[in-house]
Each structure stands twice: as structure tokens, then as C-alpha cells.
Homo-oligomer: A and B are copies of this chain.
Amino acid sequence: MQLTPTMHRCVLHWGEMASRWGVSRSVAQIHALLFLAPSPLTADEIAETLNVARSNVSVSIKELQAWDLVSVTHQLGDRRDYFQARKDIWEVLTMIMDGRKKREIDPTLQMLREATADAGKDHETPEQVKQRIADMLEFVEELSGWYDQIRTMPRPTLLKLMRMGTKVAKIVT
């Protein structure tokens, strides 16, 4: 697939942002390409467009599928896999946040719970430190619970709330 200068720029920027968020450049570039692409692409097309090895595309696509951001389609009379990305940007963000919560926040919560439990039968750790860990646990649990809640809300509701901005505050006065 031939990239126009505008697309080229988006793909490159997305790739540059990647490392700042702990994502490999290839994964991000492929995601950007598939997000923009008007129609599904084969792995070979992706490799050629972005000038990366075919095998790299294979691994990166697997990663994107694990995040539920990319899916496979097929064309009649063609054995090749055609890949497409979610186009709904809101859904994209949701998938990324769900994934990060599952992979990073939940294990951290786990660790904090264990640390807090251990702190009971731990006489060397200063009380102040234990308190700090307990605060952290409470905070992450609160945020996590909040996310789970708003996660269930229908998008139009969420949008309305967002657009109200600080005006939502009036209901808690």
C-alpha cells in the first residue's frame, strides 16, 4: 500500500510515541497503518509499506491481536490473512485501557495486597512505611473500582458527562 505524505507522517509519529509508552515501534506503526488503511491489508503489504521484515509483522500482529485491536478477515479465493484494525477510536482506547489494567494495574494491586498482608507479621518495617503502602493500596483500589464502574456505562452517557466538564460537580454540593 502506498502511503501519502499525510499518512506517512501519522505512522511515523505514532511509532515515535510508542517507546514512551513501552510499546515497540513496529507494533505501533503497524497499528497506525491498519487504523488508517481504507481496507484490510495482508502481512506482505504491511511489511512492504513499512519496510520491516515479514516475520516482524507476524509477531507484531499477534501482539495487536492479544490487545484485541486487530482482527483477521479473508477474501474469497485468497488464502492470505487480511488484517484490519478497530476503527472506532473510543473502542481503541477502551481496549488499551482494559489491557493495561489487566496486565499492569491488577498485578500491582496483587502485590500491594500481599505487601499489606505481610506488613502485619513484619516488625522491622516502620509504621510510617506500612501506612504508605496501605495508602497506595487504597488509592489504586479506589481508582480501579471506579474504572470498572464507568466501564459499564453506555458511551452516550459517558460522553454527556464528559461534555458537562466541571458542571457535574453541582450534583455533589
- Nearest B residue to A159 by beta-carbon distance? B142
Q: Mark A132-160, 1 if CB is under 8 A from B, else 0.
A: 11011001001101100110110001001
Q: Give Cα A7–Cα B130 distance, bound, in whole angstroms.
A: 9
Q: Which residues of B contact A146 (CB under 8 A)?
A: 162-163, 165
- Chain A interface residue count, CB cutoff 8 Å, equals 60
Q: A4-B122, A104-B20, A118-B6 are in contact. Are A157 and B169 (CB under 8 A)?
A: yes
Q: Which residues of B contact A169 (CB under 8 A)?
A: 153, 157, 161
Q: A22-B21, A38-B126 are in contact. Are A89 and B168 (CB under 8 A)?
A: no
Q: Which residues of B contact A132 (CB under 8 A)?
A: 35-36, 87
Tell me whether A9 is interfacial, beta carbon within 8 Å: yes
Q: In the bound complex, do residue B139 and residue A166 qualify as a contact, i.e. CB atoms below 8 Å apart?
A: no
Q: Give Cα A121–Cα B134 distance, bound, in whole angstroms.
A: 56
Q: How close is A98's CB to chain B, nearest CB, in angstroms? A: 15
Q: How close is A136's CB to chain B, nearest CB, in angstroms? A: 6
Q: Mark A26-42, 1 if CB is under 8 A from B, else 0.
A: 00000000011110000
Q: Which residues of B contact A168 (CB under 8 A)?
A: 161, 168, 171
Q: Give Cα A75–Cα B128 distance, bound, in whole angstroms.
A: 21
Q: In the bound complex, do residue A133 and residue B20 qualify as a contact, i.e. CB atoms below 8 Å apart?
A: no
Q: Which residues of B contact A89 (CB under 8 A)?
A: 135-136, 139
Q: Give Cα A158–Cα B24 distance, bound, in whole angstroms.
A: 35
Q: In the bound complex, do residue A129 and residue B36 qualify as a contact, i.e. CB atoms below 8 Å apart?
A: yes
Q: Give Cα A22–Cα B16 distance, bound, in whole angstroms.
A: 12
Tell me whether A76 is interfacial, beta carbon within 8 Å: no
Q: How close is A29's CB to chain B, nearest CB, in angstroms? A: 14
